[in-house]
Amino acid sequence: MTSFLAFLPELTLLAGALVLFCVALGDSREQLARTITLATAAAALLAAVFTFSQQAVLFNGAFRVDPFSQFLKIAITFGYLCIGLLSRELNDINGQTRPEYHLFLNFSVIGLVLLVSSVDLITLVLALELSSFALYLLVPMRRERAGQRVQMESAIKYLMFGVAATGVMLFGMSYLYGLTGSTSLAVIMAKLPALLGSPLAIVGLALTLAGLLYKLAVFPFHFWTPDVYQGAANETAGLVASLPKVGAVAVLVRLVSLATPDTASFATLLTCLAIASMVYGNLIAIVQTDFKRLLGFSGIAHAGYALVGFVALDDAGYAAALYYIVGYMLMVLACFVVICRVSREGTNVAIGDLAGLHRRSPLLAATLLVGVFALAGLPPFVGFMGKLGLLTAALNQGHLALVVITVINSAVAIYYYLRIIRAAFFGESEEVAAPLKLNWSTAVLCVLLIASITALGVAPAGVVETISRSLAAVRFPLLG
């Protein structure tokens, strides 16, 4: 019974996938597929909350349920519920393929939920690929327009870069297996620290991280990001920009915890990646006019911010990175809610298209204000507390130069974020735009995101403490 309860979120999502598969076999079942997606997301979130205290080792030690994985499942399923509410209309997806869209969306979430509990290299790769291949199929499902097939170009880039990153990751994993004689992260965790003085161990760990850094869009694995955001449907881009980041950071915590605090070469590698991502992402974002493309380059910079926590190589840094990436998921979803509702028939939204938003829809304007201010790292929102935690963790380990560079980059980012607010609240449209009427799902989603972003920023202690306690399960794994 314990094992069954521990696996309840995954079973709920699998049941939803089975029902969606049957629904997708018929015609004109878009409304039913949408309802099942929302019901599955809500049920999976409740199951994750219900099983938060469960601990178990399944599949001969390859899959572990612990407080660390269960907290992240709550975050991922909450994000899934937000995506489900966001995807009620799907204006830029062909009506005949919308049931399949919901099916692949469910498969991607299943992969992420499995990913955060994977404690073996084999199950880790399987879960990562299950999530990735569903996304590869979602990107080209955007409706074709006259003279525009950018979604196909984006899908090909996403697929090719993803396959290459997976190949590099598998090559690195082969090094780890050769050095330790096991695919279990618990065994690797026990044996690898003594081997980190070897260049082969550093190379193996770095190559293994490459696949996860690709998911997180860390420089130099970022090339796909702006093109995929711009080419995918707005709802798909919102999914790609949010949920996979949480899964990537979760597995990075499990892998980077293999390193010890005195591993200077590994900390230097992470520092260089963090600085390069922040500088490149912020500088290129300054000149962007397409809102989604701006968020793509901004996402590269935020990946660099998240890596600042990993540079500390301690639990405080890992907890700060997890807290920040969960907050980032909410922040970027708030921006994509606005993009999806402002967009005309699913087209891309330029920053200038936001002009007069505060008159057309005060709720959307408030959602945009909260999301953008949080991304800029302004108090009292989650972005401010997240960056404060990251900088504190890095500074406590003596990384003063990295902290200074991070603060400078945050100041640079405020400039292009304020451009968005200026357009929405002070810009004037050349033509009189009709008010935006929001359906109930959009209104609920806006309120949920505003409340979550604000609550996590005002009262972060409970969440950070929960994350910190759950990290003990990563350091001291259960015995199967």
Can you list the pairs that 94-101 forms with residues at least 24 positions away whose Cβ atoms lie under 8 Å?
Answer: 94/141, 94/143, 95/30, 96/27, 97/141, 98/30, 98/33, 98/34, 99/20, 99/23, 99/24, 99/26, 99/29, 99/30, 99/32, 99/33, 100/24, 100/141, 101/138, 101/141
Q: Measure the CA–CA gap between 351 and 439, rounded to whole angstroms.
A: 23
Mean pLDDT of successive 10-residue stretches along the chain, which has 480 residues: 76 92 82 90 92 82 84 92 86 81 91 89 89 88 70 82 87 86 81 75 81 83 84 87 89 76 73 92 90 91 91 86 92 92 81 85 91 90 90 88 92 91 79 73 90 90 85 58
d(CA 170, CA 302): 26
Is residue 170 a part of any domain in this protein? Answer: yes
The closest of 222, 245, 309 to 115, measured between CA atoms, is 245
pLDDT tens digits along 20-47: 999 888 777 788 888 999 999 999 999 9
**Measured between alpha carbons, how far is 461 from 471 in angstroms, rounded to an integer?**
15
Peptide bond into 220 cis (omega under 30): yes
468 Cβ contact partners less than 8 Å away, ≥ 6 residues apart: 315, 316, 319
Question: Other CB atoms closer than 10 Å to residue 472's CB: what's the count?
Answer: 13
Q: Is 330:302 a contact under the CB 8 Å cutoff?
A: no
pLDDT at 161: 85
In a domain, 215, yes or no: yes
* DSSP H helices in 51-149: 67-86, 98-115, 121-138
Q: What is the pLDDT of residue 261?
A: 57
Query: How far lies 14's CA from each of 44, 51, 113, in Å?
Result: 10, 16, 11
Question: 232 in helix, strand or coil?
Answer: coil
Quick one: pLDDT at residue 426? 84
The answer to whether the CB of 237 falls within 8 A of the CB of 336 is: yes
Residue 169 lies in a domain: yes
How many domains are there within the chain? 1
Task: Write the burial class of residue 298 (CB in 10 Å: 0-12 exposed, 13-18 middle, 19+ buried).
Answer: buried
Q: Quick one: three-class SS letters along 266-318?
A: HHHHHHHHHHHHHHHHHHHHCCCCEHHHHHHHHHHHHHHHHHHHHHCCCHHHH
The amino acid at 45: L
Measured distance between the N- and C-terminal CA atoms of the chain, rounded to whole angstroms? 16
Angle between helices 234-256 and 98-115 (to 10 degrees): 10
Q: Does some domain include residue 92? A: yes
- Asked whether residue 335 is domain-assigned, the answer is yes
Return the closest-CA partner of residue 470 out of 176, 13, 72: 72
Report the C-alpha gap between 318 and 147 in whole angstroms. Answer: 46
Closest CA to 228 of 218, 216, 241: 241
- pLDDT given at position 279: 93
User: Of all helices (H) and strands (E), which one includes residue 225?
Assistant: helix 225-231
- In our burial notation (b when 16+ CB lie closer than 10 A, e otherwise), range 324-342 reads bbbbbbbbbbbbbbbbbbb
- Residue 345: which region, alpha, beta or left (left: phi > 0; alpha: psi -120 to 50)? left
Q: State pLDDT tens for residues 342-391.
A: 887 777 888 888 888 888 888 999 999 999 999 998 888 998 999 999 99
Handedness of CA 281, 219, 117, 113 (dihedral sign): positive
**∠ CA(238), CA(242), CA(247), 5° rounding?**
145
Give the closest residue to 102 by CA, choosing from 10, 26, 35, 27: 35
Q: Tell me whether residue 300 is in a domain.
A: yes
Contacts of 469 (CB under 8 A, 6+ apart): 67
pLDDT recorded at residue 479: 42
The reply to whether 100 falls in a domain is yes
Contact predicate 186/119, CB 8 Å: yes
Asked if residue 480 belongs to a domain, the reply is: no
Inter-residue contact 332 to 305 (CB < 8 Å) = no
Residue burial 83-114, b: 16+ Cβ < 10 Å; e: rest: bbbbbbbbebbeeebbbbbbbbbbbbbbbbbb
Domain that holds residue 196: 2-475
**Two tokens, residue 332:** 């970027």
